[in-house]
Amino acid sequence: MMKKTAILLSLLIYAAFPILAETYTVTSPDGKVVYQVNIAEKVMTSVFYNGKLIIQSSEFGLQFEQSPYLGTDLGVEKVIQNEINDTWKPVIGQYSEVLNHANELVLDLKEKRFPARQIRLIFRSYNDGVAFRYVIHDSFKNFISNYQEGMTIPMVEEKTNFSFNGDHTVWAANYGSYTTHQETEYNKIKLTDITEADIIGLPLLIEINEDLYAAITEANLTDWAGMYLGKTPGKSTSLTSKLSPLPGAGDTKVNVKPGSPSPWRVIMIGVEPGDLIESSILYNLNEPCAIKDPSWIKPGISAWDHWWSGEVKMDTETILKYVDLAAEMGWEYMLIDWNWYGPPFGDVVGGPGNPNADITKVVKEVDMPGIIKYANSKNVDILVWLLWESVEKQMDEAFPLYEKWGVKGVKIDFMARDDQWMVQWYHKVVKKAAEHHLTVDFHGAYKPTGWTRTYPNLLTREGVMGNEYSKWSFRVTPEHTTTLPFTRMIAGQMDFTPGAFINKSMGQFKTGSPAEAMGTRCNQLAMFVVYYSPLTVACDHPDQYKNQPGTDFLKEVPTVWDDTKVINGRVGEYIAIARKKENRWFIAAMTNSEARTLEIDLDFLGKGQWELNYFKDAKDANINAEKLDSGKILLSANDKLKIDMAPGGGYAGYFDTK
């Protein structure tokens, strides 16, 4: 609901805003989330949950090139209130059905002084958070000389502030640059530790207090620059938006089309950090599926050639071993990584692309038609890796060719940008891929923003410091892997590449090739349930899986879900989660470098008896991390499940009705 109020009616509002301002309130359907908008000299907002202040006062405004700041002395011309209440069925997701229920406030504003520009602000309150976006008024055409359709106005800064009433604990990824693969730790720091120079990625998780968490991120990033955060000048506990700059465009961050919206600026809210994992707010802030018939889109697990167990060996014989692995495990895909069309880079890996690369040609060592035919005979589909620069040059030719070959998807890598041009490019690629029935996995990528609701052929993306870092670093620690579900993963699917089967305790772990993983075998199994990724790429070599404990679980686990429940968890410490697929519940838990015992309520189960097939750390898994115990037990919803985990350990299992 929404109402216009006088300031003196509420001490809460009086504390947040100055006298004689116009204040509007939009409340969530359950009445717990209150979004207050104050129109005075500036546009300011505050957000409350159950009466507790989350955002103290936030300022909004835009700075266009050679124009006054747009955000002060605005008058309200029109007020619209809406209720959004519908359900939709994801093509891929964590739920079979999603409720989209929010109350919305739309304010049409106009400057009281010259140049009297107009702008629309839209605010929404959901039960699990709030969202805000700008809509650049169509009348901006009047400020463009000799306007023609498609012309834009350069915007040099978006001043969206997030102010807090205390020095809260946050988990922050500081990328230090806008040219980034968004692969780093989320460090536990204080708000006051963030500086003006920092480039803090999204999502940013904030502990408001021990019973209230929030996360700042964005949704529906389609024709804008990616947003980051830094300290607001002169304010110790306030953060300000920073937009990824357009290369070669001077101060311009976004070329704005009159009539177009910004992305949604989102504050996710939960009593527990696990509530943010369960949230669908980012998907609800995107448009419905735009693919008329998405039935061809297939989630699943993929084998992945040789990179993890050695450098890529690009020949037919090697690739077929991984096809056989996928077939034996019942996995849907085999991913052929780089070098299948020759050297993708010029002089340096990760540097400029090879100008002579041709992604429509296959090296002589690889029999692509034969591989696809063989894989299809075993009910396995083929995915191929591509460097983004080559995709930009050849996608119109290559994508229809891949469809003709029978390739089912592409993994595109090394973009390391999210400026407006690159964001537009992502969308162009995904739409072109959909035209040719190709799924997409972006690596070297920016965070997801819920757009897979609209184009679900975008199965997954990286933008995470994943398992691959174990080849050359000690950074993929149990603390890191138990932080990711509450930070990066709340933005959406996450291609971490789990499934490492050379498992070592923290004291035994070493870098190199074939690659090892820090933590137990069960820890890696648990990742297939805990980490959401509709395309899950299993990283290890066929020989590492052969006759190994735990492979039986990898033959059963799906990658998309009908229901998701975070049972409990603490950031960087542990997580326990249950996910349902059809008539089967999967359960998984992970711990950090401390041994841990959890007692799990099974009230998510339905009536009757259930048989749990479990995989748990062996008693000596702290010494031999590859050892596990497995078995079956009968349980019901009234029972509790005791889970003992070694340091860096885990637990995985699935329930079948009896």
| pLDDT tens, position by position, 78-114 | 999 999 999 999 999 999 999 999 999 999 999 999 9
DSSP tag of 42: B
**Token pair 């920016």: residue:** 446
Mean pLDDT, rounded, for 344-354? 93
- 293-463 and 469-532+560-658 in the same fold: yes
Mean pLDDT, rounded, for 316-334? 97
Report pLDDT for 11.
33
Q: Which residues have C-beta within 8 Å of that of residue 619, sequence separation ≥ 6? A: 629
Ordered DSSP codes for 583-630: TEEEEEEEE-SS-EEEEEE-TTS-SS-EEEEEEEE-TTTTTSTT-EEE
Report pLDDT for 14.
37
- What are the pLDDT digits (tens) for 437-448? 999 999 999 999
- What are the pLDDT digits (tens) for 385-410? 999 999 999 999 999 999 999 999 99
pLDDT band for 8, please (50, 70, 90 cuts).
Answer: very low
CA separation for the pair 33, 114 (Å, rounded): 36
Report pLDDT for 20.
55
Task: Find the helix packing angle between 388-405 and 420-435, rounded to 10°.
Answer: 10
Report pLDDT for 311.
81
SS3 state of residue 300: strand
Asked if the model's pLDDT at residue 4 lies above 50, the reply is: no
- What are the pLDDT digits (tens) for 18-72? 445 799 999 999 999 999 999 999 999 999 999 999 999 899 999 999 899 999 9
The b-or-e profile of 579-588 (16+ CB within 10 A means b, else e) is bbbeebbbbb
Contact 2, 122 (CB under 8 A): no
Asked if the model's pLDDT at residue 13 lies above 70, the reply is: no
- Amino acid at position 578, single letter: A
Asked if the model's pLDDT at residue 193 lies above 50, the reply is: yes
Q: Which residues have C-beta within 8 Å of that of residue 328, sequence separation ≥ 6? A: none
Show the 3-state SS of 132-199: EEEEECHHHHHHCCCCCCCCCEEEEEECCEEECCCCCEEEECECCCCCCCCCCCCEEEEHHHCCCCCC
- What are the pLDDT digits (tens) for 635-647? 999 999 999 999 9
Q: Where are the domains of the chain?
A: 2-284, 293-463, 469-532+560-658
Residue 284 belongs to what H/E stretch? helix 281-284
- What are the pLDDT digits (tens) for 557-594? 999 999 999 999 999 999 999 999 999 999 999 999 99
> Which CATH fold topology does 2-284 show?
Beta-galactosidase; Chain A, domain 5 (2.70.98)
Per the structure block, which two tokens stand in for 385?
A: 């890796």
Report pLDDT for 366.
98
**CATH number assigned to the domain covering 469-532+560-658:** 3.20.20.70
- What are the pLDDT digits (tens) for 223-257? 999 999 999 999 999 999 999 999 999 999 999 99
Mean pLDDT, rounded, for 414-427? 98
> Which CATH fold topology does 293-463 show?
TIM Barrel (3.20.20)
Mean pLDDT, rounded, for 307-326? 92
The distance of Cα 142 from the centroid of its chain, to the nearest Å, equals 38
